[in-house]
């Protein structure tokens, strides 16, 4: 994949990180900017897939009110919580 395609894909992810809820924006956008490119390809794919979920579902997961049933979603939610808010995360 060329640098241009990577850049377009990253910009697309950045737009998808802009949600309707501030609580999600402050988790997803910094994670994308600071961590996403360091992830293994499988985890990058999990993140991309996660962004297709509904805001309310994401909110419940990130506020640790629920745990995703899907193991791929559970993994990427845990990665996001531990990397973006390590001092607040309770496994």
Q: What is the pLDDT of residues 7-37, one digit of tens each?
A: 899 999 999 999 989 999 999 999 999 999 9
- Domains with residue ranges and CATH for the chain: 3-84 (1.10.150.250)
Task: Please give the model's pTM, rounded to 2 decimal places.
Answer: 0.85
At residue 68, the 3 state secondary structure works out as coil
pLDDT at 1 over 50: no
Q: Rounded CA gap, 38 and 58, in Å?
A: 22
Is pLDDT above 60 for 89?
no
Q: What residues contact residue 55 under an 8 Å CB cut-off, 6+ apart? A: 19, 20, 21, 24
Q: Are 50 and 36 in contact (CB under 8 A)?
A: no
pLDDT in tens, 48-72: 999 999 999 999 999 999 999 999 9
């Amino acid at each position: 994949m060329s640098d241009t395609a990577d850049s377009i894909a990253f910009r697309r992810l950045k737009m998808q990180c802009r949600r309707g809820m501030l609580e999600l924006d402050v988790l997803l956008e910094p994670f994308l900017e600071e961590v996403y490119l360091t992830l293994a390809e499988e985890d990058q794919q999990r993140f991309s897939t996660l962004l297709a979920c509904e805001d309310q579902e994401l909110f419940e997961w990130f506020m640790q009110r629920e745990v995703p049933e899907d193991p791929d979603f559970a993994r990427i939610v845990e990665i996001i919580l531990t990397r973006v808010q390590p001092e607040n995360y309770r496994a």
